[in-house]
Amino acid sequence: MGFHSKEAVPGDGNLAEFQQMFALSEADLSFKILGCSDGPASFTAEMHERVYRVISADPFYECTLEQVQERIAATYEIVIEQTRSNQDKFVWERIKSPDELGEIRMAAMRRFMADYEQGKADGRYITAELPKLPFAEKEFELALCSHFLFLYSDNFSLEFHEEAILSLCKLAQEIRIFPVLDYNAEVSPHLAPIRKKLSALGYENSLVTVDYEFQRGGNQMLRITT
């Protein structure tokens, strides 16, 4: 099982949230998308219902459905309680309270669980972990990674981030990573050196302000084109 932080930064975990975090247009949705580190979000399930093409890759998918249910039951209260005790780190506008967050998030996880076994059989949930993912060069038009890279900068080194992001650059024409903050809501110390490295290698990269802010100050994604 891959890294699983207790300092989780919870999101809604649904398609609407992903659309905002990554500023996804209708044209973007029609791309073949790699969802990296999606965990129990309902993005892939909802996209599949709408006949869009997403493959999610996460070490979490080594779990059986039963283990997923156990993991969610064991961590759900902890994550919501952590959010409650760190309320000042979040913006309570779109979502009004930790309880409402919990309800939205649980609805997304239920949707994920309903799709999980069929999705695994279809090859839409792949057990894999950065820095190396088992896909072909430029297999995807777009790769998305939310709430993993940069967020856990204390746990994952600059070298890990470099290797992971460069491997995503091999797999997709465009990469979007959200947020660029760590879980203390500070800009990741890895961001500047990664951008320098990307530019030196000729990859265009920019910070894009998006219409989503839950972690206070976290309203930017890193966009890389290859």
Binding site for ligand SAM (CB under 6 A): 2-4, 8, 11, 13, 36-39, 41, 58-60, 129-130, 146-148
- The nearer residue to ligand SAM, 38 or 213, going by C-beta atoms, is 38
Residue closest to ligand SAM when measured from CB atoms = 39
* Minimum distance of ligand SAM from residue 77's CB (angstroms): 16
Distances from the Cα of 155 to the Cα of 142, 167, 183, angstroms: 26, 19, 11
DSSP 143: E
* Minimum distance of ligand SAM from residue 164's CB (angstroms): 7
How far apart, in whole angstroms, are the C-alpha atoms of residue 50 and residue 53?
9
* Minimum distance of ligand SAM from residue 135's CB (angstroms): 13
- The nearer residue to ligand SAM, 71 or 84, going by C-beta atoms, is 71
- The nearer residue to ligand SAM, 11 or 98, going by C-beta atoms, is 11
| Tokens matching residue 46 | 């909802």
* Minimum distance of ligand SAM from residue 163's CB (angstroms): 11
Per DSSP, helices labelled H in 31-152 are 43-49, 65-85, 98-122
CA dihedral (185, 186, 190, 191) positive or negative: positive
- The nearer residue to ligand SAM, 131 or 189, going by C-beta atoms, is 131
Q: Is 48 exposed, middle or buried (0-12, 13-18, 19+ CB in 10 A)?
A: middle
